[in-house]
A and B are shown apart, each in its own frame.
Chain A
Amino acid sequence: MEGGTLLQVQDLVLGCRGRSYPLVGTVSFGLRAGEIFGLVGESGCGKSLTGLACLALFPSGVKPLSGRVIFRDTDLLSLPEEKRRKFRGRHIGLIFQEPLNALNPVFTVGHQVEEVLELHRGLSGEKARRETVRLFSEVGLPDPELRLRNYPHELSGGMRQRVMIAMALAGDPDLLVADEPTTALDVTVQAQILELFLELRARRGLSILFISHDLAVIREVADRVAVMYAGEIVEEAPREELFSSPLHPYTRALLAAFPRLGTRKLEVLPGQVPPPGTWPRGCRFAPRCPEKIPLCAEKHPELKEIRPHHRVRCLRV
C-alpha cells in the first residue's frame, strides 16, 4: 500500500441477487489522507454503489462478489456487520444528495446531531449541546444556537445540507463519502457548500470521496479525479492533468459535450451508456468510440499507468 493511503478499494465487483451479471466492477482506487478524490460519470455508471461500498453499505439485493475495501489496515468487507457499524460515522461519514431523506422529520436537528455525539464520542447533556453549536458554526449555519431547535423542514435546502455535514462530522471521522452533495442545491448555494468542503479539508485534514455527475463541480473541489464508465474506472489523474490533457476517448468526449461559459460548439457523443448486463465483451466504450480499432471489440483493456499518477483504460493509449 502506498504511503499515506487511507482507503484502498481493491478489485471490487458488486452484483445483485437474482442476476448473473455484475452492476459494478472491477473497481480499484486509493484515497490518500487529506485528499479530495472526485468520482465522476454519467447516470448508472456505478458511482453511488461504489461510494456506499466504501462504508461496507449495500442496498438491498446488492452484494460484493469480490474485492476488498481496506480502511487503514482493516478490510471492512471481512468484518461482521456489528463492527462495520462502529466504523461508520466514527471513521467514515456519509453525506447524500437530499438531506431531507437522511434527516428524521420528527426530531429537531440539534437532537439528531447530539445523538451521533453520544453514540460515537460519548458526549451527552450540556457537553453534547455545546459541541453541536460548535459544529453548526463550523459548517457555517447562521445563528447556530437558534438552529438547534429547528426541525428539518424549517430549514432551507442549503441549511439542511450544512446540518447533514455537521452530523457527518460529529463522529470526528477521517473520511467523508459525499454522494452528489450539492446536486439538489441552487448554484449560488452550491458554490458556498463546495467552499465549505475545501475549508473542512484544509482545517481538519479530512479525506473526501466526492461523487458527482457534474464535471465542473468535480473540477472545483477534487485533487484527483476518476472517470467511471459502465461500472469501471476508465481514467484517473490529478485534477489539472485530467482536465487539460485527458487521454481516454470517453473523458475527452465528455469534456467536449459539457457546456462551459464561452462554449461555441458542443461536440456530440452519439448513443448512451450501456446498462449493466449489456456491457460489451471488449472495451465497454468501444461501440461509441470514434477512435476504435478492431481489437477494441475483442479485448477488455486494463487500467494502465501511462504517466506517473495517470491511469487510462484504453488499448490505443
Chain B
Amino acid sequence: MTVLELREVSKSYRLRGFLRQGPELQVLAGVSLSLRRHEILGLVGESGCGKSTLARLALALEKPDQGEFLFLGQPYWRLPRRERRNLRPRLQAVFQDPAASLNPRMRIGDLISEPLRLQGVSREETRDRTLKMMEMVGLPEEALSRFPHQLSGGQRQRVALARALITHPEVVVLDEPTSALDVSVQAQILNLLLDLQHRFGVSYIFISHDLPVVLYLAHRVAVMYLGEIVEMAPAADLEKPGLHPYTELLLASIPGERKKRPVAGEPPSLLRRPYGCVFHPRCPEARPLCQREKPPLRRVSREHFIACHRR
C-alpha cells in the first residue's frame, strides 16, 4: 500500500537579482515518487540536485508549483485546512543538523514530548511515553533535564529521532541525518534507524549523498540528477549491470579501490539545464538523440525504472 506519493511535481524559485527580479530556477522538473508502507526509500544525488527541496514537498512544508502531493491516499493541498492539520503529525522529519532544528532553550524532555503536548495527551502519559521513547533511542534518563548543547552530535540526533517518532507517525523523512556524524556514531544511528523502523512499522524517505549508506538502509533507491529522477530500483539491483550511466558513474566514483574511472566533468548549473537528457553532457554513451529528446522514466523490469535512451 502506498502511504505517500508525489505525482509529476515541479518546483521553481525566483532568484533575487539586483534591483529587478532574477531568473527563475527550476529545481524539480516533473518528479514522481511513491513510498510504500513499511518501506525505506533511499534518495541519492549530488549537491544541489534538489533532494532537500523534494524533502520539503514530501513533508508538506512547501506546495509544489505543479503536480500533486498525496498523503495516505488524499490530495493533501486540496484538503480543508483542518484536515491538513490533523494529518501533519503523521508526517515527521529529521534533518542533518539537529543543533539547528532543536530549540536551544528547551530541555530534552520537553523537546521530545512537545508533539504529545500539542496533541493534548495527559501529563502522566506524556511522561511515560517520553521515558520509554528515550530508552528506545538509547538516551539516558539524566538527559531529560539537559539542553541540546550539553549533548554530543549523535545524542542530539537521537533526540531528533525520539521527537519524530513519539507520535507514531506514518512517514519520517530523513534528510542527511548522519552526514555530520563520525563513522562510529553514524553506524550507531543507522542501526538504530533500522531497529526503530522495524518496531514502529514506519516508512522512511532516507536522503543522502552517500551511496553506500543509502544502499545499507534502503529497500528501494531513487537516483536524482539536476532535479529529475533518472533511475528507481530495488537496492539489490544496483549491484547488477545495466544501470543508468549516471548511477554507474556514482558507483564508480566511490573511493577505496584505485580503479580507473570514466572522465566525467562536473554537473552543470540548474540555470543551464541541458536540453534533451539532463545527463548527456557528461555521459560517455551519449548519442545525438540524447541531445534532442528527453528520455522518459521507463520500466525495465518489474520494479526497476530508468530514464535513458541507451538502456
0/1 per residue, A191-204, Cβ < 8 Å to B?
11011001000000
**B280-299 interface code vs A (CB 8 A; 1 in, 0 out):** 00000000000000000000
Partner of A261, one of B154, B249, B251: B251
B265, closest chain A residue (CB): A142
Q: Is B300 an interface residue (CB 8 A)?
A: no
A220-B184 in contact given A187-B209, A188-B249, A261-B251 (Cβ < 8 Å): no
Contact B255–A214 (Cβ < 8 Å):
yes
Is B80's beta carbon under 8 Å from chain A?
Answer: no
Name A259's contact: one of B188, B212, B261, B264 (CB within 8 Å). Answer: B212
Interface centre among B187, B211, B249, B250 (most CB of A within 10 A): B187
Number of interface residues of B (CB under 8 A): 36
> What's the minimum C-beta distance from A190 to chain B, rounded to whole angstroms?
7
Q: Are A195 and B261 in contact (CB under 8 A)?
A: yes
Asked whether A220 lies within 8 Å of B191 as measured between CB atoms, the reply is: no
| B255→A190 contact, CB < 8 A | yes
A259-B213 contact given A188-B46, A273-B182, CB 8 Å threshold: yes
Partner of A257, one of B154, B186, B256, B263: B186
Which residues of chain A are near B267, meaning CB under 8 Å?
186, 188
Assess the B191–A266 pair: CB atoms within 8 A: yes
For A43, A188, A198, the residue with the greatest tally of chain B CB atoms inside 10 Å of its CB is A188
A260 adjacent to B212 (CB under 8 Å): yes
Query: In whole Å, how far is A156's beta carbon from the nearest beta carbon of chain B?
Result: 5
- Indicate whether B85 reaches chain A with its CB closer than 8 angstroms: no
Give the interface residue-count category, chain A. 35 or more
Q: Give the complex CA separation of A63 and B146 in angstroms.
A: 34
Residues facing A in B233-256 (CB within 8 A) are: 239, 249-256
**Docked-complex contact A258 and B46, CB < 8 angstroms:** no
Residues of chain A within 8 A (CB-CB) of B250 are 187-188
Judged by a CB distance under 8 angstroms, whether B166 is at the interface is: no
Q: CB distance B254 to A268 under 8 Å?
A: no
**Does B303 count as interface, using CB distance less than 8 angstroms?**
no
Query: B46 touching A220 by the CB < 8 A rule?
Result: no
B271 at the interface (CB under 8 A from A): no
The residue on B at minimum CB distance from A216 is: B256
**A310 interface hit (Cβ, 8 Å):** no
Point out residues on B near A: beta carbons under 8 Å: 46-47, 152, 154, 182-188, 190-191, 209-213, 215-216, 239, 249-258, 261, 263-264, 266-267
List of 8 A-B pairs having minimum Cβ-Cβ separation, nearest first: A257-B187, A216-B256, A220-B255, A191-B253, A186-B46, A42-B182, A266-B187, A187-B253
